[in-house]
Amino acid sequence: MDKSCEVTALGELNVDIILNDIDGFPEMGKEKFAGKMTVALGSSTAIFAANVACLGARTAFAGMVGRDSFGSLVSESLRAKGVDTRFLIESPDYATGATLVMSYDEDRANLTYQGAMDHMGFDDLNPDIFRESRHIHISSVFMQSALKRDFSRIFEAAESGGVTLSMDTQWDPKEEWDFDCAAILPHVDVFMPNETELKAITRTDDLSGAISRIRPYLRQVAVIKCGSRGSILVKKDGEVSEMPSFLNSHVVDSIGAGDSFNAGFIYGYVKGMSLTECQRLGNLTGAVNTTAAGGTGAFTSREAVIRTAREVFGADCPL
């Protein structure tokens, strides 16, 4: 069947309100100034969607925002990045989620109002996404309780629509790590946590022990992100391949490196590359991410990504 979307990003959407150069840390009963404010599209899933679209995949977003100005900012920003917004839902009941990011010295404190994204469940989704998508990517599972509650219905719809699935857990802000590997992983074609998240969900401190706990449940492959050390590919049949990163010795910041890795890997996946080629492209787009500020700064165009790969990392980028 001809699918109009190669990749549909499903889930969390919010705006980031980033306050920089603040006078001092906020204190109850007092008021302080911030020297600079940026309001921008936030969320791991949105960074993924923007970057996989930039690489050249036909990408749509299925998520929920409020009927408010932050909701308009989210949909306009996605469209400006070339992401199809026909599956976005405007909730009359909930406001668009927002994260207040306070940067103080070298560190940041984040405060998130989940808003609409926490309420989107299976019944809110347009069923066309399962007919029109070749692949669906889900991220930040612990930020979206309604979506997580409905995973089994999503898996069933994806399977009957012939849709492949990828999932990045991301961090659990409550640090409860309630993730049933035996129930979830057999339905996820590409599982993409980072190493800390994998250890937390398997409740083990040892990486190889954590890998052996998920391996029996894998549908096809897991790829584990290990920061500047690169990534580890774990195939269902048991083959484990570590691949070093394209090391960047002049990192601007690594915000969104994991989402950019996911974008490169899933681009390769939907274009039919081998899993090893997908891993290499993920490592490369993760590294490209670290050459500019924020999660999308280095992804201004496909040509820019190819140029950065060549000039900074001496690498051929197979886009």
Binding site for ligand ATP (CB under 6 A): 170, 194, 225-228, 230-231, 245-248, 251, 254, 256-259, 261, 283, 286-287, 290
Q: From the list ligand ATP, Mg ion, none, which binds 297 (C-beta under 5 to 8 Å, kind-based)? A: none
Residues 23-52 that bind Mg ion (CB under 5 A): none
Q: From the list Mg ion, ligand ATP, none, which binds 77 (C-beta under 5 to 8 Å, kind-based)? A: none
Cβ atoms of residues 70 and 96 within 8 Å = yes
Instruction: Please provide the DSSP assignment of 73-97 as one string.
Output: HHHHHHHHTT-B-TT-EEESSSPPE
Which tokens go with 32? 């302080």
Nearest approach, Cβ of residue 20 and ligand ATP (Å): 19
Which tokens go with 282? 């993920």
**Binding map of Mg ion across residues 48-87, x = CB under 5 A, - = no contact:** ----------------------------------------
Q: From the list ligand ATP, Mg ion, none, which binds 228 (C-beta under 5 to 8 Å, kind-based)? A: ligand ATP
Residues 170-199 that bind Mg ion (CB under 5 A): 194
Cβ atoms of residues 30 and 8 within 8 Å = no
CA distance 307 to 156: 41
CA distance 227 to 188: 23
User: Nearer to ligand ATP by C-beta: 166 or 194?
Assistant: 194
User: Nearer to ligand ATP by C-beta: 45 or 194?
Assistant: 194
**Cα–Cα distance list, 179 to 109, 149, 193, 203 (Å):** 26, 11, 12, 10
Which tokens go with 297? 């700064």
Nearest approach, Cβ of residue 161 and ligand ATP (Å): 28
Buried b or exposed e, range 55-69, using 16+ CB within 10 angstroms = bebbbbbbbbbbebe
Q: From the list ligand ATP, Mg ion, none, which binds 291 (C-beta under 5 to 8 Å, kind-based)? A: none
Which tokens go with 148? 């997580």
**Binding map of Mg ion across residues 246-275, x = CB under 5 A, - = no contact:** ------------x-----------------
Among 196, 227, 226, 201, CA closest to 214: 201
Nearest approach, Cβ of residue 11 and ligand ATP (Å): 14
User: Nearer to ligand ATP by C-beta: 130 or 246?
Assistant: 246
Torsion angle of C-alpha atoms 266, 174, 212, 285, degrees rounded to 10: 30
User: Nearer to ligand ATP by C-beta: 66 or 230?
Assistant: 230
